[in-house]
Chain A
Amino acid sequence: MSKNQHDRAHHAKKASGVGDPQCFRGEAGQAKFKNGDMVRIRDLPDIFYTRCQVYTRGAVGRITKVVYESPAAEDEAWDNTDHPEWFYSVVFRQHELWPDYPASYKNDTLETEFSERWLEQA
């Protein structure tokens, strides 16, 4: 079996002076969602690795910011960087995330980021 060839210089060449995730600008195409959209978090199969927290699955939130383009963590974790996606910041109401969240704290929220594959229109 031969040794794999790894291009160790690739990322530095691409991102030098530009930054990461800035180096992926323009690679994700058209963003599917925009600020203010209500989205539901998809419960895609959870195998080997994900950065989409289980506590968000099936919950509905509001997009507050379209943040950047980047390979999804699930791909970047294996150095598969050819298909960047748009990333979004989404806000949830705590009482919708947790059934036992105290009713007296009715305004509490939680905000976290998702790559586009994890979102569907609510």
Chain B
Amino acid sequence: MSDTHKAAPMVDEVSDFEILEMAVRELAIEKGLFSAEDHRRWIEYVHTLGPLPAARLAAKAWLDPDFKKLAVADGVKASLAVGIDWINGPPTKFGTPSDYCSFRVLEDTPKVKHVVVCTLCSCYPRTILGQSPEWYRTPNYRRRLVRWPRQVLAEFGLQLAADVEIRVVDSNQKTRYMVLPLRPIGTEGWSEQQLTEIVTRDCLIGVAMPQPGVTSNAKRPVHPAVHPIHAGH
């Protein structure tokens, strides 16, 4: 934790947000708007979500040209191959309320590099990628990526040749996107598992490119929570 972060407050101090959160949840349950079981189920469902299925989808697409064609043509159908049912997977059985069932896989080529943002809020393909990173939600990223993409990508460590088409995709409506990055050289003969490991969350958003030996997102400062999620959740 760097000097610029505030000192941790006393552990038993409860914030106005925590008080309001309890009040709203208790009232909603009391009034029958949703049940305590519904809420528990949703928390558990969110716990099942993460970037692994999307990474596997990328690895499969690299290994099988027909699957790649399907992924680009019908992302929802292709997701089934990695165990993600956009419609029936979530407890609602009609997709998640916030992330719907319109999923597109954006295929990078040597000439085209995609990168995703939601300028209006922070829409993100949680169903196949898990929760969005904090920086993705910032007004800063949302302001700048659409207009100064090369500067923002350079800050993430990515610089591309001037004649490459950088396509910023602004997910402003119901479609959710993942990037299918270029398969790097040095991965010839790799298994699906080995390929999956180098497709990080940052690669799937488009701010990083897969590299042999790189199996996690770039190190960044982590703002700690005052009352983080309970162990076991």
Instruction: Please report A residues at the B interface, Cβ cutoff 8 Å.
Output: 11-12, 15-23, 51-53, 55, 67-68, 70, 73, 87, 89, 91, 94, 97-98, 101-102, 104-115
- 14 A-B residue pairings within 8 Å (CB atoms): A11-B94, A16-B93, A16-B94, A19-B100, A20-B101, A20-B174, A51-B120, A53-B120, A67-B102, A87-B173, A98-B147, A110-B170, A113-B172, A113-B175
Given contact pairs A107-B164, A115-B173, A18 touches B94 in the complex (Cβ within 8 A): yes
CA–CA, A70 to B95, complex, Å? 15
> Chain B, 161-189, contact with A by CB distance < 8 Å: what is the 0/1 string?
01111111111111100000000000000
Besides A15-B95, A18-B94, A20-B94, 5 more A-B contacts (Cβ < 8 Å) are: A67-B175, A68-B175, A107-B165, A108-B149, A110-B170
Q: Knowing A15-B95, A16-B94, A108-B149 touch, does A21 contact B170 (C-beta < 8 A)?
A: no
A-chain residues with CB within 8 Å of residue B147 when the two chains form the complex: 55, 97-98, 101
Residues of chain B touching chain A, judged by Cβ–Cβ distance below 8 Å, are 76, 86-88, 92-95, 100-102, 111, 119-120, 146-147, 149-150, 162-175
B94 engages A21 (CB within 8 Å): no
Q: How far is the CA of A31 from the CA of B100 in the complex (A)?
A: 22
Are B87 and A21 touching (Cβ within 8 A)?
no
Are A110 and B168 in contact, CB atoms less than 8 angstroms apart?
yes
Residue of A nearest to B160 (CB): A105
CB distance from B123 to the nearest CB of A (A): 10
Could you tell me the distance between the alpha carbons of A87 and B100 in the complex, rounded to whole angstroms? 14
Query: Does more than half of chain B's interface fall in helix, strand or loop, or is it mixed?
Result: loop
On whether A21 and B174 interact (CB within 8 A), knowing A108-B149, A108-B167, the answer reads yes
Q: Check B173 against A73 for contact (C-beta < 8 Å).
A: yes
Interfacial chain A residues near B163, Cβ < 8 Å: 106-107
- Residues of B near A73 (CB, < 8 A) are 173
Which residues from A are CB-within-8-Å of B167?
91, 108-111
Partner of A109, one of B162, B165, B172: B165
Task: Output the residue of A12, A19, A22, A68 with the most chain B CB within 10 A.
Answer: A19
| Residues in A neighbouring B76, C-beta threshold 8 A | 19
Contacts of A70 in B (CB 8 A): 173-174
Given A20-B174, A68-B102, A105-B162; A112-B95 close (CB under 8 Å): no
Cβ of A64 to closest chain B Cβ, rounded Å: 10
* A15-B94, A19-B86, A22-B101 known; A105+B166 contact, CB < 8 A: yes
Residue picked from B94, B146, B162, most chain A C-beta under 10 Å: B94
